[in-house]
Amino acid sequence: MTLHARQQQAISFRGRSLLAFVLTPKAPVATWLAEMDAWLDRSPGFFNEKPVMLEISGLTIDAAAYRALIGDLARRNLRVMAVEGAAPEHLADDLPPMVSSGRPASAAALLDQSANQAARPEPRAEARPAALVIDANVRSGQSICHPEGDVTVIGSVASGAEVIAGGSIHIYGALRGRAMAGVSGAPDARIFCRKLHAEFLSIGATYKAAEHMGSLEGRSIHARLDGMKMHIVVLD
Amino acid sequence: MGRVVVVTSGKGGVGKTTSTAAIGAALAQTGQYVCVVDFDVGLRNLDLILGAERRVVYDFINVANGEAKLAQALIRDKRVDTLYLLAASQTRDKDALSEEGVARVIGELREMFDWIICDSPAGIERGATLAMRHADQAIVVTNPEVSSVRDSDRIIGLLDSKTLMAERGERMEKHLLLTRFDAGRAARGEMLSVDDVLDILSIPLLGIIPESEDVLRASNLGSPVTINSAVSAPARAYQDACRRLAGEIVPMVIPGQKRPFFARLFGRRAA
């Protein structure tokens, strides 16, 4: 959705789902910790930067011992981010929060993911701009492809050039080439231009070639989808 | 240090070679040292337009490959002694030119001349991209008709991506030279008007050269129009273009818009 007017700053929430490793400590805890140490010796740093949870519904443990367990795991660089099946005495402000909506996932999938991440350190992705602004003419033969969002051209798009956008296309000049909006499936993508001389327009899968633009030639227009039909409306 | 100017167009037959010769000669007539270089390997024409076809011994490829020295290949014009030609080979083709060879020759030419004018072949392949690669400025030659304008637009896009200046992130100065302009046909809508062309190409206008028999006559005589018929309309337009290239501000005259004598006398519009 494109916001055209800037309202007051709002907090934005997004969702994210992650796969986490679930560790299930068994009594006696000391033995389980020793086994964990052996495992960590063989694969040091395995749990670094991976989300780790504890499942303790099957473990009888008092508050102090649980707190000690969390501490022991932290000293082994295992930061527990959440706990499942905890009793009320296991929850406190400085202990991992309880979660309950986890769904089982294959550990193999998780290991694959980890292996890939270990092999190729995940690049810090810079925030990719959703809207691309081009402050120049788009020359014949050039192709602007931006499936992530809107494209705005401050200039003209020449005959023989094309603009391909995942979102809407805004051309503050003459459109003499091809414009293809909504390629990533957004049905409300639109095409705007100051002078229509386009060879070809398309929004999603619906297209219109130049021969069907007749009386709109040279006008300032706004094209949008209505179901599967393209409506071109004159702006001035 | 000389300035390298590429005369290019995309479309063939619009007047690149004619303009290279005319502008080269006009600049040399002001006393500056000018070398015109023919990049059209295999289809060379610049030597014919300059009347030097019987004096070509060594060419650009020979120098680029180290088979001859630059001084042996340069042909001095007999009419304007500060004008020199580096001809292309007729027997080989564009693949015979190597990037390193071209870079080296252009470097040598920069030391010797004030202006190096590169006559580009038509097209967008290797010959054209090599000709524009080392340029500091570009003259985009366009006829006021639709296919020439679209091809010029394409070549402008290439000037902004395939040249050394573009790779360094600098913006190349590009000038539009509108050639074979016929005011009558433009008025009747048979050809694009100056405004139409500028609207599409959006680069500054260097000059408007009118369609004229003087140009064809000059070519067949082997003399650039600025030398052969220096007072003709195209020659004067080329001279104005040279002055603008050198940075002077010269008011633009659209050819054919001056009303003929009788019409002015009797206040009627010409038919």
Average pLDDT, chain A: 83
Cβ distance B153 to A174 less than 8 Å, yes or no, reads no
pTM of the complete model beyond 0.95: no
Alpha helices of B69-190 — where are they, by DSSP H? 70-73, 99-112, 126-133, 146-159, 164-167, 183-187
- Tally A–B CB contacts below 8 A: 31
Distances (CA, A) of A231 to A149, A225, B64: 21, 6, 59
B160 at A interface, C-beta within 8 A:
yes
Q: Using alpha carbons only, what angle is made at residue B261 by residues B255 and B267, rounded to the nearest 5 degrees?
A: 105
**Nearest 5°: phi and psi at A201?**
-125, 140
- Mean pLDDT in residue range A21-36: 87
Instruction: Grade residue B271 by pLDDT with cuts at 50, 70 and 90.
Output: very low
Q: Which residues of B touch A174 (CB under 8 A)?
A: 199
Q: Please tell me the distance from the alpha carbon of residue B238 to that of residue B224, in angstroms, as a whole number.
A: 11
HSE-up (13 A, CA, CB side) for residue A184: 11
Cβ distance A160 to B200 less than 8 Å, yes or no, reads no
Average pLDDT, chain B: 92
Asked whether B207 and B178 are in contact (CB, 8 A), the reply is yes
Cis preceding linkage at A28, omega within 30:
yes
Nearest CA-CA partner of B58 in B39, B80, B73: B73
Cβ distance A159 to B154 less than 8 Å, yes or no, reads no
Element (H, E) at A33: helix A29-42
In chain A, residues 115-154 whose CB comes closer than 8 Å to chain B: 137, 139-142
Of A140, A156, A174, the CB nearest to B150: A140
ipTM of the complex: 0.82
Q: Which residues of A touch B154 (CB under 8 A)?
A: 139-141, 160
* pLDDT on residue B186: 85
* pLDDT on residue A108: 60
